[in-house]
Each structure stands twice: as C-alpha cells, then as structure tokens.
Amino acid sequence: MLMLSLFTYMVYLAYNSYNSTHLNRVAGMSTLFCMYLAWDSLSMQYSNMSLFNNWFSYDAGNSSMVTLLLTLVLTLIMYGTMTTRYTLNNPWMATLMLVNLMGLVLFPMVNDLMPLYVMMELQSYSLYLLTGVYNKSYNATRAAMTYFVTGGVASVLMLLSSAEVYQMSGLTNLTELTTYFHYNNNGSFNVLDMTLMGLVFKMGLAPLHAWSMAVYSYTPTYMTAYMSMVAKVSIMAFMYLHMALFNTQTLLTVFYLSMAMAAYTPLYQVTLKSMLAYSGMLNFGYTTTSVMLGDEMFYMYMMQYSLTHMLMFYAMLAMSEYTATPSSQWSPMVNVNQLMVPNKTLALLFIMALFSLIGMPPLPGFYGKYYVMTALMHNGLYMEGMAIMMFSVMATYYYAYMIKQLATNLTLSFKPLNGTLSLMLSIYGMLIMSFFMALPYTLQGYSMMAL
C-alpha cells in the first residue's frame, strides 16, 4: 500500500507542484489509510506470516512497532499542512518522507541479511536527502554532507559483517543464523557485532555519537524532530527482535557510555537542540537495557517516549511563532535563552514534556523508567539500575535549567496559534496527562505478548 501511495503521490506531484501544503495533505491522507490498514492487520500478528521467501516476517513482535512508526510519521507530516510564521514550502518533503517510511516500516520486519542492508540504505539515503532538502540553508547542506559521510562508514561496517557471516556460515536468513550461533558461538564476540556497531553508529549512541549532535544542531528544527526519532525507533525495534544474534556485552558498554555522555555533556551546552539531542541519547540508552533483557516493557517505553518527543518538538515549533529575533527561518529558536514564550499554556505543555523526561509521576516518563528499572532488578542487574538513577538525577539539572528559563519569561499579551497546531498540541497534551489511565490495559497487552 505504501508503494501504491508513493506512486500515486508522485503522479499527482508532477501536475500539482505549486502548493506544498496541499501536497502534504495528500501525503497525510495516504499515510492515514496505511495506518488504518496496519491497525486492521493486527489480528494477523499471531499467524507468523512471512513475505518474499521469508525475507520479511510479520508477527506479534513487530506489528505494534509498525503502527507506532506510521503514527509518528503521520504526526510530522501533519505539521507540513499548517500555515505558520516560518512555513518552509518544499514539494519534495512529503515524497521523501513516504520513501523513508517504506524503509522504516520494513526494517523491523527484516529476516535476512540481504534486505537488512537494502532497507537500511533505503531509509538512510532518504534521510540524507531530507536533511539537505532545504539547500538554501548552509547549515542544512553541511548537516546533510556530515550525515552522508558518517552514515556511509556505518553502512560499510554492516556490509562487511554480512559478507563475513556468509563466508563463515553460508547462511543469510536471520532465523537460521540465530540457531547457528546458538550452537557455534563460545560466548565471545562474533562478526555480527560489527552489524550491531553499525546500527549503534546509525542511531548516534555513544561512543559513536559526535556526528549526530552536529547534524541535529545544523538541521532545520522540523527535520530534527523527524530524524531524531523515527530512524532510532525502527533500528531499536530490529535490535530488540533479533538480540539473540548479538553479544549483550557490546550493548552494555554502549549503555554505560551513552548514559554518562548524555547526562554530563549537556551541563555545558547552551543550544536547545543540542540539549534535546543528548536527552534523546539518554532515553535510548535506557531502552538498551530492555533490548538486552528482551523485556516486553520495551514497547511501553517506546510508546511513552514517542508521545513526549512529539509534544516537546511540536511545542518547540509553536514557540518559534513568538521568537522576536529568529536565528534563521529554518531554525528560529536556537539557544535556551530564546525560550521567552508569552503563551502560558504553550509554556506549560513544554514544561510538562520536560517533567515527563525527568520522570515525574504521574507522567509517562515516570512509568517508563519505573518498569525498566523493575526489569533490571528482577534480573539481578542492580548496578545498571543504580546507574539509571544516578544519571537521571544528573540530567535533571539541564531539564530544570530549561524549565527555569520558561517559567521566568512569561508575559501577558500574545497572538493565538494556528488552529490545527493548537489541536495537535492539545491531543498530545491530553494523551500524556491521561497515559496512566490506560496503563493497566497496556500492561495486560504486553503480558499477553510475553506468553
């Protein structure tokens, strides 16, 4: 359906390229229909359906992540349908998002080394183009080139690993490789750990994270909201579903390094997007523990962080409407001292998202951290649980710095926001505030998945 939507959209684009807002609405309708089909197909998740000679599989593990990815992309496409103060018209934006969405959705379903590399490159190359689609911006062009060069290094690691695995075992199917390494691995590092490091490189986790901070800072704010979330969710879902192929000690090292870097480095940062980029690395560092354990709370953490991330960046984009002296039309708000928002409701929504990242109850971030730490304690990993507590306290400082800046710069008069933008902010605000009400039913569903 995504392929048909993309083909139809490109034909429509050839004759109607003058109005990017209208084109984004068409892309949003296509994505909404695909999301409906994914939701309607949830009943098929226990059939273990395989596609294209077992290259892809659709099961209970990846079905919920496919729906989540479609929801995230639809939410971000919706922003392009709004007329804002810093509207960035580009007819190719939605096209590249649909191409990227194909790679995002298919990547967690991959069950073979060949489509693994192809799907990784499909989403990577579309992200390179999305990063530099506003080529009139020098920073966006620089970010795209940096992303392309560093992403190429990660792709080489993955391709080299696949070649070594095939030379050693003569297999490419991931299910068969899981059985092979179960009986032929002595517990030490194997060649597939190069694939794991390539995926960590693509996600921008420590120690291979320096490029991502530069790319997120240079990219337009709208694109930062997109690229800092969707690709990481897709890659993390694949790692969770195929963790039996990799060595957990490698991921444990990534966990400690990511937590330490993401909690300490932002204490010396003054740019807003750099702080939020390190915050993302910190939260995905938490998620690596669920991946290592194969714990079903991985799904809940992804859900709650996606809600918080969307609310935070939507609020940040809305705050740009009130920026008196914008840094540029692509990223009007750059530094923390620009958080001067006259709209008190908007400021409270952003503060609520930051409280969720801190882990304040009854917001979703509290439950995410609580169940991750509970799973660690249940499996005897007390050191990792204490590390999460310590680094979370350190990270609270720079969250509190942003909250202080917002709370001390409130004025009275302001112009109302765009109606659609206000509606999206209201929806995500209500979802975050009412998350705890749906938690018992969510946990019951995850418990059934674990059976």
What are the pLDDT digits (tens) for 329-357? Answer: 777 787 788 787 888 888 899 999 999 99
Report the pLDDT averaged over residues 280-305: 91
Residue 186, pLDDT above cutoff 70: no
Task: Tell me which DSSP letter residue 58 carries.
Answer: E
Residue 175, pLDDT above cutoff 60: yes
Residue 284, pLDDT above cutoff 90: yes
Beta bridge partners of 58: 49
Mean pLDDT, the chain, integer: 86
Distances from the Cα of 288 to the Cα of 124, 187, 370, angstroms: 21, 20, 15
Report the pLDDT averaged over residues 366-380: 91
Residue 17, pLDDT above cutoff 70: no
Asked if residue 123 lies in contact with residue 103, where contact means CB atoms within 8 angstroms, the answer is: yes
**Angle value at C-alpha 308, between 202 and 216, nearest 5 degrees:** 35
Report the pLDDT averaged over residues 18-46: 80
CA distance 217 to 224: 8
Q: H helices within 41-112, ranges in order? A: 60-79, 93-106
For 24, the token pair is 């984004």
Residue 450, pLDDT above cutoff 60: no
CA distance 296 to 318: 34
> What confidence score (pLDDT) does residue 61 get?
81
Greater model confidence, 183 or 243:
243
CA distance 272 to 316: 10
Report the pLDDT averaged over residues 206-227: 89
